[in-house]
Structure 1
Amino acid sequence: MSTHEPDYDHLLRGNLERVFNERDADRRARAIDELFVTDPVMHEPDNVVTGRAAISAIAGQLLEQFGPSFRFTPAGPAVGHHGLGVLRWEAGPEGGPVAVTGSDVAQLVDGRIARLWVLLNPPSV
């Protein structure tokens, strides 16, 4: 077993930028192939999806649903150890107000994302 830690920030920012902000389906699929294990699982608040194609479809649907200027932005560097990484993020229209905040929590296996939990913060009052 290797004691080398993966680059949590690179992987989780890559997921945010190259998967969940990528509107081109082919580029998104290539990024997923690079960042995720062969059979990843993503846990959303109301859904569990399995497989690279399903994760790509969810990312594409989110971008389509929220419009052409919607973007996810990291809210600091990702941190992690022993195969578990966390990246806080915020999202909303580019240049506009933040619509939602949350965190991605990832279990990494062999330097790739195996399981991803999308945690949404409660809305501000």
Structure 2
Amino acid sequence: MDTKSVVEAYLATWNAEGEHRAKLIAEHWAPEVAYTDPLAEITGHAELAALIDGVRQQFPGFVFTPVGEPDAHHSQVRFRWGLGPEGADPVAIGFDVLVLDDEGRIRDVRGFLDKVPAGA
């Protein structure tokens, strides 16, 4: 497993729009993906796309970036991410654990929020 590539694909999905995002979801996320964090609990590609749309509408122009280095073992990857204006310090920081399926696609996400902007 190439841990860095998994994290890059994950963050690219959250940063992409339209057809490009749909392609990333189809390629890197298992169809039955489950995603759980303090603000959402969803399953499947359609609900994932809707969740990403909601976050992008709430934080227009912001981008997801890696924070620190990812860690992995077996079929699991953990990493921190930041969300903020491009080139600026993140206004939100989270910690996610991904579980990959046998094909290396993301099938389960457990997310935690470490820093959340006021009013979010």
- Global fold match (TM > 0.5): yes
Write out aligned runs for 1:16-95 (5 A).
Answer: 16-17=11-12, 19-22=13-16, 24-68=17-61, 70-95=62-87
SS at match of 2:56: helix
Structure label with greater radius of gyration: 1
Q: How far 1:98 sits from its partner (Å)?
A: 2.0
The separation in 2 between residues aligned to 1:109 and 1:77, in whole angstroms, is: 22
- Identical-residue share of aligned pairs (%): 31
Q: Which amino acid aligns with 2:9?
A: G
Contact 1:73 1:91 in 2 (8 A): yes
CA RMSD between the two structures: 1.7
93-102 or 24-33: which moved more? 93-102
Partner of 2:95: 103
Q: How far 1:47 sits from its partner (Å)?
A: 2.0
Q: Residues 88-122 of structure 1, C-alpha deviation per residue, up to 9 Å, x if partnerless?
A: 11111123342111112101111111101121104
SS at match of 2:42: strand
Aligned residues: 116
The separation in 2 between residues aligned to 1:47 and 1:63, in whole angstroms, is: 14
- Please identify which structure carries the higher strand content: 2
Structure 1 stretches lacking a partner, 5+ long: 1-5
- Relative distance call for 1:53 and 1:90 in structure 2 (3 A) is same
Structure 2 stretches lacking a partner, 5+ long: none
- The two structures have a TM-score, normalised by structure 2, of 0.87
